[in-house]
C-alpha cells in the first residue's frame, strides 16, 4: 500500500493497458482517476472493480486532446482529493494506420493530437499540482513503433517517438522538483488496439516476437507500477516490454 494518500490520473483507463494500470495502482493504495473519452460504462466498471477491492477511484470523462476538458478534469481532482495528485500516466492513444502517401491530413493530425498533444495537455495542467507537493511521477506510454517505425504508421510512430523526447527533456527540467518522468515502450499487447489487426497480420506479428505471444496489459501495468513505487532514482528513461524484440 505504498501509494496510499497519493492520487493517480490514468488517461484512457476504461479498457486495455490503461485499465490494467488503473487497477494495479489502486491495488497499491493509490486514489485513481479513471479517465475516459466516451465509454462511461466501461470506465464505471473499472471504478466498481477498484471499489469492490477496497480501493478509491472515480471515472472522469475528458478528451485529452481538448485542453479545456483536461483542465476541468484536473480541477475536479483537486476538489475531490486536494493536494494529493502525485502520479500521471499518459496512456490514452489511438492509431489511424495508412501509408504516408494515402494518409489524409486529419489522420495525421488526430493521432498527433491525442497521442502527443494529449500528453502535453495533461502534463501542462497537472504540473502546478505535482510541483506543489514533494515528489511525483509521470509515465508516458510510448511504443516499440517509436523505435522501429511501422509500415503505414508514420503518424503513430512520430507521435510515440515525440513522447520519448518529451520524456527525456521533462526529466531534466523536473528533477529538481523530485518528479520522475519515464516512458514505457510496449511491444504487441493483447488489447482491442492489436485485436483490430487482420488475423493473418497478427499471426505474422506474433511469429516475429521471440517469446511467440502477445504481452498482457497486466504485464505493462506492473512495469508502470514499479516505476511509480520503486523508481525514485529512475528518470528520463525508456523501458521496453516487448517479448524480446530487439530494438
Ligand atoms: P485501447 O484502444 O484498448 O485503449 C486506448 C484507450 O485510450 C481507450 O480507453 C480509449 O478510449 C482511450 N482514448 C483514446 N483517445 C482518447 C482521448 N482523446 N481522450 C481520452 N482517452 C482516449 O489500446 P491499448 O492497447 O490499451 O493502448 C493503450 C496505450 O498503449 C496507447 O497509448 C497505445 O498507443 C499504447 N500501446 C499499445 C500497444 C498494444 O500493442 N496494444 C503497444 C504499444 C503501445
Q: Is residue 118 part of a domain?
A: yes
Q: Of 91, 92, 87, give the one whose Cα is nearest residue 30.
A: 87
- Say whether pLDDT at 246 is over 90: no
Rounded average pLDDT over 65-88: 98
Q: Is residue 246 part of a domain?
A: no
Q: Determine the pLDDT at residue 63.
A: 98
Give the per-residue SS3 of 203-245.
Answer: HHHHHHCCCCCCECHHHHHHHHHHHHHHCCCCCCCEEEECCCC
- Say whether pLDDT at 32 is over 90: yes
Q: Is residue 209 part of a domain?
A: yes
- Say whether pLDDT at 34 is over 90: yes
Q: Is the CB of 225 under 6 A from ligand 1?
A: no
User: Which atom of ligand 1 lies nearest, measured to the CA of 115?
Assistant: 32
Rounded average pLDDT over 2-23: 98
- 3-state secondary structure at position 17: helix
Each residue of 89-111: pLDDT tens digit?
Answer: 999 999 999 999 999 999 999 99
Q: Is the CB of 118 under 6 A from ligand 1?
A: yes
CATH code for the domain in which residue 200 is found: 3.40.50.720
Each residue of 212-242: pLDDT tens digit?
Answer: 999 999 999 999 999 999 999 999 999 999 9
Each residue of 108-144: pLDDT tens digit?
Answer: 999 999 999 999 999 999 999 999 998 999 999 999 9
Residue-range definition of the domain harbouring residue 138? 7-240
d(CA 190, CA 172): 33
* Average pLDDT value for the chain: 97
- Say whether pLDDT at 247 is over 90: no
Task: Give CA separation, 135 vs 65, 85, 132, 174, in Å.
Answer: 26, 10, 9, 10
Q: Is residue 52 part of a domain?
A: yes
Q: How many domains does the chain have?
A: 1
β-strands 179-186, 238-241: how paired? parallel
Buried b (16+ CB within 10 A) or exposed e, 230-247: ebeeebbbbbbbbbebee
176 CA from centroid of ligand 1 (Å) = 31
Q: Of 175, 176, 146, give the one whose Cα is nearest residue 236.
A: 175
Amino acid at each position: 500500500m505504498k501509494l496510499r494518500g497519493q492520487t493517480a490520473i490514468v488517461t484512457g483507463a476504461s479498457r486495455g493497458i490503461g485499465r490494467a494500470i488503473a487497477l494495479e495502482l489502486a491495488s497499491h493504495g493509490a486514489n485513481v482517476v479513471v479517465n475516459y473519452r466516451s465509454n462511461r460504462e466501461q470506465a464505471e466498471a473499472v471504478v466498481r472493480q477498484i471499489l469492490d477491492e477496497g480501493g478509491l477511484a472515480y471515472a472522469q470523462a475528458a478528451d485529452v486532446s481538448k485542453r479545456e476538458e483536461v483542465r476541468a478534469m484536473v480541477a475536479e481532482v483537486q476538489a475531490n482529493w486536494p493536494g494529493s495528485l502525485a502520479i500521471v500516466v499518459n496512456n490514452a492513444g489511438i492509431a489511424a494506420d495508412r501509408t504516408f502517401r494515402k494518409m489524409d491530413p486529419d489522420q495525421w493530425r488526430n493521432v498527433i493530437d491525442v497521442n502527443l498533444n494529449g500528453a502535453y495537455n495533461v502534463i501542462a495542467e497537472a504540473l502546478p499540482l505535482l510541483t506543489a507537493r514533494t515528489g511525483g511521477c509521470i509515465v508516458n506510454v510510448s511504443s516499440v513503433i517509436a523505435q522501429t517505425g511501422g509500415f503505414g504508421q508514420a503518424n503513430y510512430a512520430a507521435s510515440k517517438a515525440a513522447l520519448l523526447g518529451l520524456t527525456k527533456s521533462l526529466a531534466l527540467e523536473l528533477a529538481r522538483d523530485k518528479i520522475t518522468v519515464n516512458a514505457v515502450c510496449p511491444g504487441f499487447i493483447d488489447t482491442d488496439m492489436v485485436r483490430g489487426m487482420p488475423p493473418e497480420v497478427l499471426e505474422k506479428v506474433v511469429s516475429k516476437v521471440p517469446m511467440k505471444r502477445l504481452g498482457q496489459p497486466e504485464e505493462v501495468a506492473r512495469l508502470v507500477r514499479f516505476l511509480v513505487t520503486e523508481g525514485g532514482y529512475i528518470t528520463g528513461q525508456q523501458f521496453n516490454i516487448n517479448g524480446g524484440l530487439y530494438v
